[in-house]
Structure 1
Amino acid sequence: MLDIKRIRNNPAEAKEKLATRAVAPEQIDDVLALDEQRRELLQQTEQLKAERNQASDQISIAKRNHENADEAIAQMREVGSRIKALDNKLDDVLTEFNDKMSRLPNFPHDTDPIGPDENYSREERKIGTLPHFDFQPKAHWEIGEDLGILDFERAGKVSGARFVYYMGMGAKLERAIYNFMLDQHAEEGYEEVIPPYMVNSASMYGTGQFPKFKEDVYQLQDEDLTLIPTAEVPLTNYYRDEVLPVAKLPVYLTALTPSFRSEAGSAGRDTRGLIRMHQFNKVEMVKYVKPENSYDELEKMTANAENILQKLGLAYHVITLATGDMSFTAAETHDLEVWIPHQETYREISSCSNCEDFQARRAQIRYRDEDGKVHLVHTLNGSGLAVGRTVAAILENYQNADGSVTIPEALVPYMHGITKITKENAHAK
């Protein structure tokens, strides 16, 4: 959530920054009007409470002196009724104010490219050599289905569209990839976590998924629980409503979890393959850091994700997202997009974002500095990486003319020495 004091003190800046994120100026005006109404009601309530206290004192004095206190009692009751009416009105204004504030996205960083969509994003660098094939490369779903290691048809029978069975060497490859990722992040100082896969509404609010994006998730009926769309939610909420000692910062956490997404609004997009699934595994990185260090930490996190791609020998590029293409909570985002030969394009495989104090304000995650003052932390999150998309990239970039798939050297130890997936060993016991 944004700082209302910043909006109040410089509404022109708020309108200018949020206009780059498709927020109309009228939305800022509405928030400021509600803020003013809220403060006026609070002031009126405080004045009336002072009057009530004064009347209470007069009643006490009158009773001690055995004097008639009827007038003071009537006055106190009348003031009490006015306070109750104002409190009810204040509750309504606060509800509307909080709802409108909770739907405003984060301010973009001053260095972010400005534009409404991905076409305005800025490429930072390209890494790796694009593969060259002396045959027509296949799509990863064709490779997986031909080898019998990806079964979309039976997953459709059991669960519906956008689900998959990983079979035999497919399951082993997926497991090898995420174990490799977790080991790499552990070496980089991240603490491995196995978090809950279901969280309450307060957690979804804390990281910014609620209330605006409820249609994108799966909720349990009659229970305040939601299947996580990413491990960012339980990892970032770990310290919700807590004050950390400054000596504990920075905190680095990593986790492998399934991610569950309804993919609302994505009809017709990536209907085949592993790119856009309702359920997929992802290794997530989350950081809690001091504000002055957060952009250095964003570069480090991006490098951590890049390290995985480099060790897997996959070509990719890094882009800084345009203001209109960033997630709701991000102030700056670096996307890593891996080369997908069949599509002859780069596709997102990781997003690394600095949310500054946006999530920390919603979730009240703070730290106490050396002087005893309490501040909001800055939170960061990044994919390290999306596992299914990594499987897709490996199948396509390491495919051979005979239909087999070579295992990247870094994964061979995790595949128990297997260097190639073939039809003969795809279901080896």
Structure 2
Amino acid sequence: MRPRKLSEFLGQSHIVGEGKPLRMAIESDRLHSMIFWGPPGTGKTTLASLIARHSGAEFISLSAVLSGVKDIRNAVEQARRTQAAGRATLLFIDEVHRFNKAQQDAFLPHVENGTVVFIGATTENPSFELNNALLSRARIYVLKSLSSDELEQVIVQTLADSERGLGDSGIELAPELGRLLAEAADGDARRALNLLEIASDLSDDGVISRKTVEEVAVGGHRRFDKGGEAFYDQISALHKSVRGSAPDAALYWFCRMVDGGCDSLYIARRVVRMASEDIGNADPRGLTIALSAWETQERLGSPEGELAIAQAVIYLACAPKSNAVYMAYNAAMKEIRESGSHEIPIHLRNAPTRLMKELGYGKAYRYAHDEPDGYAAGERYFPEEMGERRYYQPVDRGLEIKIGEKLQRLEELDRKAEIDAVKKTE
């Protein structure tokens, strides 16, 4: 059922619709190197073959999973012979992100000198996976998942097509059941066709029942792709939903990841990070709850442990937010990396030996518990070369309101101690 001409192609109207750049390039036979980036089953290979057929170019297809430098050289030699005969060659490389740097470099000169027109297909972000030299010579087209309406059209066309589809089989499928199959395919035309084929094989007397559709549809996971673009996009969506105090959205993205097969312990670790980075001391209980959820997942496994992680996700999303600890940590680390190793003030040093005591280690240190209110007002703890620093700036939310008030009181005590010290010296 692969489309043989543009009029049969469904989806991607943003690039192949009337008046769109790629369609205009195809119709005017202006071939150029390009990269199709999108999820599985969205038409990347189909578009490449349609472009070759429309232009009359020789079509050479390689898979980066199965091919190496030798295969690329053979393809280039074939392209040279074709070029000598007056025809262009379109070199299509599926899953091009799986080629290493040397393999990508192997066909780059031949793209540059016009021996081949290169089209690569990838499910991964080209910015991360492909050489800059290759990216600069190819235009990137982003393909989107097909809508349920478009997938329904794929199913309807397949049931009606007697030449390549199921038209001669007499298979019957109610429209509402076709919709269920389309939704289960999750934007993937290839998956929609596979689900339809399985359902037709299981049909009774040529009629696909609701029970059959539900059994077939249950087996499909939503798109996730562990370690790939969708993986990082979804964990990013979860984190930003928590930060944005959107518990329902946070729960949705958590469940999407679990449903897609993500390791729940990975999510638990990231939730602990969220508790420190985005909630911090505004609600320190968030970190405790996140750690408890992680431990629960380790002890109970799935699905009981995932409920505890969901509880933590919702709690953190609803909690008051503060990134004050996160910002303070980054500021302190930045200064340390840039300023070198300052000497530790003598009064803060440990003095376990007589020699150290004779050298003054620990001398004049004021033990805070012996001071009024348990605070040694005016005492200095930074290296002398640095002076005082303020990294931690509590926000006016949650428990950090109280923390900020306390720090302000301590600053007032320090100022008073400094004034008193000046008066004593006068």
- Same fold? TM cut 0.5: no
Larger strand fraction of residues: 1
Larger helix fraction of residues: 2
TM-score range, shorter chain: under 0.3
TM-score normalised by L of structure 1: 0.18
TM-score normalised by L of structure 2: 0.18
